[in-house]
Chain A
Amino acid sequence: MSVNRRAALLVREMPLFAELTPKEVVLLGMVLKERDYQPGEWLCREGEPGNGCFFIGEGEVEIIKRAANQSQAVIGRAGKHATVGQISLIDDGPRSASVRAKTRVEVLRLDRGDFEALQASGSQFAYRFQLAIARSAAAQLREANQTLMGLMEHRETPSGSMQRVTLQKVQAVLAHTRDLHPVSTKAEGEA
């Protein structure tokens, strides 16, 4: 099967693209870049410039953020039909987290340049896609707020002074706000 056919098939399966016209499906299939990742391979790294988003086919990826002392925490997962990294399509900042294949995973990538061409089309799809990106940014903001609130609760005493927080406590808070397992539990702590 040619790369474009496989991409078009995956596009047709994704709820995000459910209302595309057949012509739009073909066009999107042509600009999307397909790649399979092996378990442990990185799709993108935190801090690097980001200029494209990933649509996940078969398989699963982990979203990972750096924590203290060189260790990392898994802060989320994404599986089939998920969209990851879409904020880089419109925001110039560096990647806010790393993404790594947990299993073997099929990925379609949309580059920023192609996305901008799509937005200029004024099509229904362009609007819906932009709306989907906006909603995912809002959802990420809500989750980040919750994480921060959790950290704040652990850090501030009634008198307002700060206390040291061990990495394990931080991970416990993150685990509470999101389902996650720390990648590394190498923690130096102080009570």
Chain B
Amino acid sequence: MSSSAVGVEHLRQFPFFAQLNEEELTAVAGACKLRTLAAKEWLFRAGDSGTSAFLVLSGRVAVLLRAEGRFEVLDTFANGSIFGELCLIEQSARSADVRALDGTLLIEIDADDFARIQQISPIAAVKVIKEVTLRTCERLRAVNQRIETYLAGDLRTNSGSTIPPIALTEFDDLVAAHPDTKLGFFGRLLARLWS
């Protein structure tokens, strides 16, 4: 793991920060660190205390759920993605494992460092929290819609199926796999539940 300065130009490529001006981005950049992962390195495990949000600058990470000694891939994140952002609003345990698929460069925002942004640029802090809320609301809408579908008695068989759990030894194959892994609707939904 290496730490070095994160600049405004790093943050600008993320839609997550689209509403922030130069001054606000500078304040946020001050709370960010760079983090490097080697291919197959673990970022965190389910149950770990979650205190940072992550943005992917380059490379890919996989979100894994462990079940009965095997791993199921819920999602993969590549350049432009953010994950773990709920840590900025509340403390909780990580609900899944995250592991680098390739050599990966991340921006890490520690929750305590983020809280200090509020003193430097209160409006930047509010805008970031608002963005987290909007994304949470999107997920909430998707889940509510699915609940309504069930309540309305929609009984069409779900044609998408979750990909079968993979053994840890098959992780090497996963590294070579296409990043847009085909997940069934429930798999994608579970991915949205995570983080």
Q: A residues bordering B, Cβ < 8 Å? A: 65-68, 73, 87, 90-91, 93, 96, 119-120, 122-124, 126-127, 130-131, 133-135, 137-138, 140-141, 144-145, 147-148, 151-152, 155, 160-162, 164-165, 170
Interface residues of B in 107-135 (CB under 8 A from A): 118, 122-123, 125-126, 129-130, 132-134
| Total contacting residues, chain B, CB less than 8 A | 35
| Separation of A161 and B139 alpha carbons in the complex (Å) | 25
| Interface contact A87-B137, CB-CB below 8 Å | yes
Within the complex, the shortest CB–CB distance from A16 to chain B, in Å, comes to: 15
Mind listing 28 A-B residue pairs with CB under 8 Å?
A66-B148, A67-B151, A73-B151, A93-B137, A93-B141, A96-B140, A122-B123, A122-B126, A123-B122, A124-B118, A126-B126, A127-B118, A127-B122, A127-B126, A134-B130, A134-B132, A134-B133, A135-B90, A137-B133, A137-B137, A137-B140, A138-B86, A138-B89, A141-B140, A145-B143, A161-B157, A162-B156, A162-B157
| Interface contact B151-A68, CB-CB below 8 Å | yes
Given A127-B126, A134-B89, A165-B150, 14 additional A-B pairs, CB 8 A: A65-B148, A68-B153, A87-B133, A87-B137, A93-B137, A122-B122, A130-B126, A130-B129, A134-B130, A137-B140, A144-B144, A148-B146, A162-B158, A170-B151
Contacts of A162 in B (CB 8 A): 155-158
Interface residues of B in 56-103 (CB under 8 A from A): 86, 89-90
B171 at the interface (CB under 8 A from A): no
Within the complex, the shortest CB–CB distance from B144 to chain A, in Å, comes to: 5
Q: B residues bordering A, Cβ < 8 Å? A: 86, 89-90, 118, 122-123, 125-126, 129-130, 132-134, 136-137, 139-141, 143-144, 146-148, 150-153, 155-158, 161, 186, 189, 193
Within the complex, the shortest CB–CB distance from B31 to chain A, in Å, comes to: 15
